[in-house]
Amino acid sequence: MIRTTLAGLVAGLCLLIVPTIAQTSGASAADAAYNKAVSALDAKQWQAALTAFDELSKQAGPRADASQYWKAYAQSRLGQRDAALASIAALRKSHPSSRWVNDAGALEVEIRQAMGQAVSPEAAADEDIKLMALNGLMQSDPERALPILQKLLTSSQSPRVKERALFVLSQNQTPKARQIMGELARGTANPELQRQAIRNLSIFHSKENGQLLSEIYASNASVEVKREIVRGMMISGDKERLAALAKAEKDPTLRKEAIRQLGVLGDQKSLSELYAADASTENRKEILQAFMMGGAVDRLTEAANNEKDPALRRKAVQLLGVMGQEKTGDALVKLYNKESDTAVKKQVLESLFVQGNVKPLLEIARKERDPGLRKEAVQKLSLMKSPESTEFMMELLNK
């Protein structure tokens, strides 16, 4: 009786397991076939890939939509463009919600353009397809593309489409394209598009673009727009115009911006001339900051040693500390040893601390006769996690 029951259970389990194994085996076979077809694509064996994906697309498996797309792809590579378009249409019909539909749309644009058919960007619903069509049209028929670009830029399209359209427009150096770019940069569109137009004019720099930006700067009252143009001059490497603005601009915010961008460009000559000609402490501090941005160790060292204004000397010392131990450590030590101004010496200690420069701080803590400065050095060392500073703290505690 028991044996009969056990036999029945085993038989029942077998009936449950066998279909599961068969299903798993079938799934594995389909995966293997799909992977083999993909390998044929990678090897550019287009006919073998087409045959495999055609068979897989007819099966009701989870990769039927992907197989249908790759079938169209293989057909396009074999030059079977009409067949590829038919396969794309079949994919849309049989798998309308598939994530492969967007890729198929992009493939369709590529195929139609290869067939000499203009795909209208404004008629495309999908943004990626719209952008591909726009780029392709600009390459094949720029005269037709420019008015479409202009219309897209003034329409209710998404920021992404407008930004890409503007980028495509920026690369065209025809008078019409420059006219459209100039209008946008002057502010005929929204402020964000205006700023992007200014950036693109700077990226795709030319004599005409530089002159255009200079004219917009002179005629525009917006500080934000002018700041964008100043930054654009840095992008295009227009040192001459930046230096002129840094000298003549009355707005302190814009003047400082021009000075900063000269620092980014490393234009030490212009910055040195500005420093010598400007009596304002605040402006000179900005120029010292620009020296630091441009890696001008010698200029900052000179100011730290010879500047008569104590505030400027301290600023120079502070910036030398930011530039790192290897670049300025020795210069700071030399300055400390010859310096008589206590405030400047304290700033040197701060800069050495910022650098993590333990060795000179230890020497100062051991040899400095001024109690205030020695205390300052010890305090800095107490905050530094290094074996040397820890040992020195133990020495002090054991005295």
CATH number, position 96: 1.25.40.10
Q: Is residue 72 part of a domain?
A: yes
pLDDT of residue 372: 95
Please give the average per-residue pLDDT across 109-123, as a whole number. Answer: 70
Residue 350 inside a domain? The answer is no
> Is 246 within 8 Å of 259 (Cβ atoms)?
yes
What confidence tier does 300 reach under pLDDT thresholds 50, 70, 90? very high
Give the list of residues 6+ apart from residue 363 with CB closer than 8 angstroms, or none.
none
* Structural domain range at position 89: 33-117
- Residue 191: CB atoms within 10 A of its CB come to 12
Which pLDDT value is given to residue 150? Answer: 83
Higher pLDDT, 387 or 99: 387
The angle subtended at Cα 47 by Cα 43 and Cα 51, nearest 5°, is 110
Summarize the confidence of residues 118-125 as an average pLDDT: 56
| Angstrom distances, CA of residue 230 to CA of 113, 202, 245 | 41, 10, 9
Question: Residue 133 falls within a domain, yes or no?
Answer: no
**Residue 26, domain member (yes or no):** no
Residue 175: the pLDDT is 86
Largest Cα separation within the chain, whole Å, is: 112
pLDDT band at 12 (very low <50, low <70, confident <90, very high): very low
**Whether the predicted pLDDT of 284 surpasses 90:** yes
Q: Which residues contact 266 (CB under 8 A, 6 or more apart)?
A: 294, 295, 296
Confidence of residue 122 (pLDDT cuts 50, 70, 90): low
Q: How confident is the model at residue 5 (pLDDT cuts 50, 70, 90)?
A: very low
Asked whether the predicted pLDDT for residue 391 surpasses 80, the reply is: yes
Q: Which residue has better confidence, 133 or 19?
A: 133
Please report whether residue 170 resides in a domain.
no
Handedness of CA 291, 294, 300, 303 (dihedral sign): negative
Specify if 79 maps to a domain. Answer: yes
Decide: pTM greater than 0.75. no
pLDDT value of position 24: 40
What pLDDT does 13 receive?
A: 34
Task: Tell me if 183 is assigned to some domain.
Answer: no
Could you tell me if 334 and 320 are in contact, meaning their C-beta atoms sit under 8 angstroms apart?
no
264-273 pLDDT per residue, tens: 999 999 999 9
Tell me the CA distances in angstroms from 221 to 216, 232, 254, one per residue in order: 9, 17, 12
pLDDT per residue as tens digits for the range 179-222: 888 998 998 877 788 889 999 999 988 888 899 999 999 998 78
Q: Is residue 40 part of a domain?
A: yes
Q: How many domains does the chain have?
A: 1
